Structure 1
Amino acid sequence: MTTSSSDHGVSLGMPELPAPDYPDGVRARLELDAREIIARYPDSRSALLPMLHLVQSEEGHVTRTGMQFCADVLELTTAEVAAVATFYTMYRRRPSGDYQVGVCTNTLCAVMGGDAIYSALQEHLGVGNGETTGDGKVTLEHIECNAACDYAPVVMVNWEFFDNQTPESAKRLVDDLRAGRQADPTRGAPLCTFKETARILAGFPDEREGAVDATGGAGPASLTGLRLAKGEKPAARVVHPRDGGPHDEPRSGTAANADVHLSSHDAPQDTSASDPSHPAGPAAEEGQ
């Protein structure tokens, strides 16, 4: 029986029963993984973050069973585990899709088109923030800055970058995800499911062929300042159309992972380096 508190508009009920345990085979497998994680740290409680990723990889979100498992293995209280699991947004507290599609709506991405992308995807998918499509494929959310402002507006899928997006390219992206078609991040490792991503975040290697070699690094836009500091001319800017026309695809991963050690002799010519009115002009001249 529950009692109602009209003063606060909430229902007060009996405390929840203890969380059910994992099946024996699942628990034994997770305990093996947990021992490997704990061995990395001098104090077992330091293993809580990767442990939460581990249990998230089992069910796609952090369940009460998962939190109880972490508490048992690390000799913590469930309150200590829940305090961490509810603090960090990368831990899901309810079932969600195979692909977490996050649209950055922080300042720069927003003014460059992030708000328009987010609104377009809400309408296209028929879901709101944190909601999942009926087929269980895509969970949509707006996210804070992911330190990729030089590629704004950015969409992330399971924490992999899809740079320089437009409403049309973002809609094609989620359509590909729902249809099971290949979707290649602009840079970084090949895309995998949210459960697979959670296991990688727990510290276990990505064993897919070529995944490690494909991780790449910072793209040319991120390294322009470094090039100027080294006396090199910056790479030519890539102007990305945002009108939803036939050429609105994001830059390819190959271009984004270009070699950062070009000499000034080999670097693409950029007239901004000799234009005093251009922000890069004086800096480029001082470095030459």
Structure 2
Amino acid sequence: MGTQETVEVQKVSFSDELVAFIEQWKDKRGNLIMILHRVQQEFTFLPWDAMRQVSEMINTPLAKIFGVATFYHYFKLEKPGKHKLAVCMGTACYLKGAGDLITEFGNLLDIKVNETTEDGLFTLESVRCVGCCGLAPVVMVGDEVYGKLGTDGLPAVLAEYRGEKGE
């Protein structure tokens, strides 16, 4: 006899603004991506219950919504950390050691790319060129740019954001 896995569905509530946005877009061509962007803006990711609600509201199969959400790299199906560590892997950054930065962040935080720390504080991402090639290698934490970083500078970057949480 096989085991049955239980999937926990987090119940979410849409803001009035999100409901109005979905109503405004529900009958427009190309609406799904716009709606999913707005849902992710509200929740920082696409919770299962939110995708189910969108499916019902715009009369689109959940399988199609999931297909779009998993096809585009921008959409996240898991809640990201409070701070996104985006290591630029564009040509200049790559040549100046961005791969070492990813490895060291992974060692310091005990996570891999596209994972979140257990405390929910950091998510590590590898991203394409962020347009700061003169500062290579570059790490972005939210909208903050850290350039000309070596692996020895990463603990100080992490300490800045840990301090926000009072750790």
TM above 0.5: yes
Amino acid at match of 2:147: N
Amino acid at match of 1:35: A
Q: 1:133 to 1:109 in 2, by over 3 A?
A: same
Q: 1:161 to 1:176 in 2, by over 3 A?
A: closer
Kindly state the Cα deviation for residue 49 of structure 1 after the two structures are TM-superposed: 2.6
Amino acid at match of 2:125: E
Amino acid at match of 2:110: G
Q: 1:162 maps to which residue?
A: 145
Identify the match of residue 138 of structure 1 among 99, 122, 129.
Answer: 122
Identify the match of residue 33 of structure 1 among 8, 18, 28.
Answer: 18
DSSP 3-state at the match of 2:123: strand
DSSP 3-state at the match of 2:84: strand
CA distance in 1 between partners of 2:114 and 2:10 (Å) = 27
Q: 1:228 maps to which residue?
A: none
Identify the match of residue 171 of structure 1 among 140, 155, 159.
Answer: 155
CA distance in 2 between partners of 1:85 and 1:58 (Å) = 15
Looking at CA atoms only, which structure, 1 or 2, has the larger radius of gyration?
A: 1
Kindly state the Cα deviation for residue 47 of structure 1 after the two structures are TM-superposed: 3.4
DSSP 3-state at the match of 2:87: strand
1:65 aligns with 2:49: yes
CA distance in 1 between partners of 2:11 and 2:117 (Å) = 27
- Percent identity between the aligned chains? 26
Amino acid at match of 1:127: I
Kindly state the Cα deviation for residue 81 of structure 1 after the two structures are TM-superposed: 0.9
8 Å CA contact 1:45–1:74 kept in 2: the answer is no
Kindly state the Cα deviation for residue 135 of structure 1 after the two structures are TM-superposed: 1.9
After superposing the two structures, state which structure 1 stretch, 51-60 or 92-101, moved more: 51-60
Amino acid at match of 2:2: T
Q: 1:284 maps to which residue?
A: none
Q: 1:20 to 1:137 in 2, by over 3 A?
A: closer
Kindly state the Cα deviation for residue 156 of structure 1 after the two structures are TM-superposed: 2.2
C-alpha RMSD over aligned residues: 3.1
Kindly state the Cα deviation for residue 73 of structure 1 after the two structures are TM-superposed: 2.1
CA distance in 2 between partners of 1:117 and 1:109 (Å) = 10
1:101 aligns with 2:85: yes
Kindly state the Cα deviation for residue 42 of structure 1 after the two structures are TM-superposed: 9.0
8 Å CA contact 1:100–1:140 kept in 2: the answer is yes
8 Å CA contact 1:152–1:163 kept in 2: the answer is no
CA distance in 1 between partners of 2:86 and 2:75 (Å) = 14
Q: Deviations over 1:96-118 (max 9, x none)?
A: 31111111223321112212222
Relative to the length of structure 1, the TM-score reads 0.48
Structure 2 unmatched runs, 5+: none
8 Å CA contact 2:22–2:35 kept in 1: the answer is yes
Q: 1:69 to 1:147 in 2, by over 3 A?
A: farther
CA distance in 2 between partners of 1:122 and 1:51 (Å) = 33
1:92 aligns with 2:76: yes
Kindly state the Cα deviation for residue 157 of structure 1 after the two structures are TM-superposed: 2.5
8 Å CA contact 1:154–1:161 kept in 2: the answer is no
Amino acid at match of 2:62: T
With a CA cutoff of 8 Å and minimum separation of 6, indicate the structure with the bigger relative contact order: 2
Q: Give the paired residue count.
A: 164
Kindly state the Cα deviation for residue 82 of structure 1 after the two structures are TM-superposed: 0.9
